[in-house]
Structure 1
């Protein structure tokens, strides 16, 4: 398969971690990085050289937003005109797909990409160092005793986390702007979270670092970011995007934008209760039940402790 051949070239595995806002994607990605980073790929040798250590890093979808003045607007039920940060049109999916292709080819982040997400508030996973060390040892044993050849085993794992990474596995999938993104992900994981948890956590956040600049017009006319119009991007160039600003959710943003967008964009993955009256949001309810036949691996936990979540990296 072409995907297997691409992975053999750089021994890089891209793990996708998606789910609704505040489902714990970034926290899980950072926990997995703690566990996998520096794992001895040849524990029986006892040499522990840098070449035998597993390399890991995180890619944040939030770093691929268009600048603030190019985020689309929408009208809420109350008639208020606000920016919509939870639509695919707010994400530079072309830039993201090309960056992931670069990661697969080179086993590192492109110089063009500098993270703004890492400057946002960080949530402690609550996992003790002793457990992290035990899991790291377990990972090393599994990688060291795996049945694959050395050319097939990953030397680098990139954890790609974001609220919108996958598209529906149907006849119209090639029309989705996310198809090119998902095609670059080897292992797509999904973290469902309940509406209650999403609302509580999102509304407790102070805000988000953004690319900038602050919009001057109520409706942007065009996008001119690095990945617009499907053009190739010089990923080796320095990141010359605008300076940063700070976004704070307006009142009611979760109920008006975040949750409805999440449900609509993942209608192909979420299991709806047809016995419930109302629209799709009402039928999905807390939104924690996902299909097992949609090409995406769902993790247990519903936004809480994920016993049974996937630690098998498909190696």
Structure 2
């Protein structure tokens, strides 16, 4: 189960006055998927949320940023597929296949969050109840990282800077940011309708041994109908093979470790770091760089490309 170099701004752009047309906005969904399980995707999502919500644009409403956890859309435990664990003969629940996820409800929640900047009122999350879902504070996430707090503060200023750049150049504001934290959302078995909802896609790869160790260090997971703890061999015999099977189509020659995305994957706005061994702060900086390129370069430098689907604020 997987419940689990920056760009400089154009000086002319940054110094031009706020345009007179009425402010328009876009409900912008960012999809960040960290595959496989146990690769730090939730921590990264929370740091990105902090970066977006720490800066309020002058004279405009603050950016709303919410995290939608893919782990909240599992089917009930009793409805999970049962599979043989490798060649052991043991039958176990399969938490790492598309059939384990209730995609229609997932899609409805993504659309709602994009439209309203918040989660549906009926949404229930297990991220704050299972053993690895406790909300980390920034101090905990940066514990032991040299200059961690300073790096986060610098990245927050950068995010605020390029959000201001979007408003000053286009009269548009990124109003809602939805971060979807999931482990299987780029898999072959995921409905295309759901994948089309995401404007920016991050795939955070992790070395096998690191992911395995993180998984084994966890106490377990609170589920819809109980509690789950991996039986021996679950990661190496089911979790990792499922990750490779579901995502190899995104990479040249099916080589996930080499990490060279196919042209089709890149055209579909999927991005992945070149390295798999970088730490959380390095990954956060990469994510902010990538968002800056997408939101500022594609929106500000090419105002007519409709990367932002805007609606006049007075309608």
TM-score bracket for this pair, using the shorter chain length: 0.7 to 0.9
Residue 228 of structure 1 corresponds to: none
Displacement of 1:112 in angstroms is 1.8
Alignment partner of 1:249 out of 216, 227, 230:
230
- Answer yes or no: is the 8 Å Cα contact 1:38–1:53 preserved in 2: no
State the 1:131 CA deviation. Answer: 2.4
Aligned partner of 1:105 in structure 2 is 115
Moved over 4 A (4+): none
**Match of residue 178 from structure 2:** 158
Higher helix share: 2
Per the alignment, residue 201 of structure 1 pairs with 214
- 1:35 pairs with 2:12: no
Number of residues of Structure 1 aligned to a counterpart in Structure 2: 250
Gaps of 5+ in 2: 1-22, 296-315
Q: What's the counterpart of residue 94 of structure 2?
A: 84
Q: What's the C-alpha RMSD, in Å, of the aligned pairs?
A: 2.3
Provide closer, same or farther for how the CA distance between residues 100 and 58 of structure 1 changes in structure 2, counting only shifts above 3 A.
same
Verify the 8 A CA contact 1:300 1:309 in the aligned structure 2: no
Q: Give the TM-score normalised by the residue count of structure 1.
A: 0.73
Q: Distance in 2 between matches of 1:38 and 1:52?
A: 13
- Alpha-carbon distance change, 25 to 194 in structure 1, aligned in 2, over 3 angstroms: same
Say whether residues 1:130 and 2:107 are aligned partners.
Answer: no
TM-score between both structures, scaled by the size of structure 2: 0.73
| Matching of residue 291 in structure 1 with residue 257 in structure 2 | no
Structure 1 stretches of 5 or more lacking a match?
1-7, 46-50, 169-175, 213-244, 273-279
SS at match of 2:162: helix
Please give the residue correspondences for 1:1-315 in structure 2 after superposition, counting only pairs within 5 Å: 11-18=26-33, 19-42=35-58, 51-76=60-85, 77-120=87-130, 121=132, 122=134, 124-126=140-142, 128-146=148-166, 148-151=169-172, 153-167=173-187, 176-212=189-225, 245-272=226-253, 284=255, 287=257, 289-291=259-261, 293=263, 294=265, 295=268, 296-305=270-279, 306=282, 309-311=286-288, 312-313=290-291, 314-315=294-295
What is the CA deviation profile of residues 16-47 of structure 1, one whole-angstrom value per residue up to 9, with x for unaligned ones? 111210111111001111211131223xx6xx
Call closer, same or farther: CA 1:79–1:148 in 2, change over 3 Å: farther
Local SS of the residue matching 2:38: coil
Distance in structure 2 (CA, Å) of the matches to 1:292 and 1:255? 26
CA contact (8 A) 2:114 2:176 kept: no
Report if aligned partners of 1:72, 1:84 keep a CA contact under 8 Å in 2: yes
